[in-house]
Amino acid sequence: MRVSIGIDLGSSRVKLIALDEEGNALGVTLASYATESRAPGYAEQNPDRWWDALRLAMSELLSRPALRGAVVAGIGMTGQMHGAVFLDESGSPLRPALMWSDARAEAETAEIEERIPRPELVALTGNRSNVSFTAPKIMWVARHEAATFARTRWIVQPKDALRFRLTGEVAGTYRTPRPLCCST
């Protein structure tokens, strides 16, 4: 039997679902991990804990009677957005990931809108600057952890760090901004 596995790397746990070729759910599992806060406004996670949680959940899922002997034909991934995972040349995390809920980069968020006027920024990206987004987090690390930033080869979203562990390939999800309104 061929199955597809869906992986959702959430803010507090990884969730997996196995589907048969007709799209019927054959099993669901999850495993949790913690968010650390070393200071007010900080929200970080250790990418190695995501990997540990994925391995645990996958082992539990594939050991279910309905999935014994199944061949995994495909894996789909989704996950939390706007995190920043700093990877070195070998793809290893250089520091804990800054999560979407990390709010330390307020000055960098303001600087983005000082450099790019809000109307222009919204026209380019579909959004105004926000402390939850990735760009201010990257700027914060560049300013406050220059040695880490200098060793960084790739900056990826959390699910893409997990994808790298699974495949050895650095990749991301490309999405163009949607227009804010309809043209007439």
In CATH, the architecture of 2-167 is 2-Layer Sandwich (3.30)
pLDDT of residue 177: 54
Cβ pair 111, 181 in contact under 8 A: no
**Eight-class DSSP state of 85:** E
Cβ pair 129, 112 in contact under 8 A: yes
CA 140 to CA 134: how far, in whole Å? Answer: 10
Which structure tokens are listed for 37?
């806060």
How many of the other CB atoms lie within 10 Å of CB of 9? 25
pLDDT tens digits, residue range 28-55?
999 999 999 999 999 999 999 999 999 9
How many of the other CB atoms lie within 10 Å of CB of 119? 9
| Residue ranges of domains in the chain | 2-167
Q: Would you place residue 184 in the very low, low, confident or very high pLDDT band (cuts 50, 70, 90)? A: very low
> What are the E-state strand segments in the chain?
2-9, 13-19, 25-32, 44-45, 71-79, 85-87, 97-98, 154-156
pLDDT tens digits, residue range 67-106?
988 999 999 999 998 999 999 999 999 999 999 999 999 9
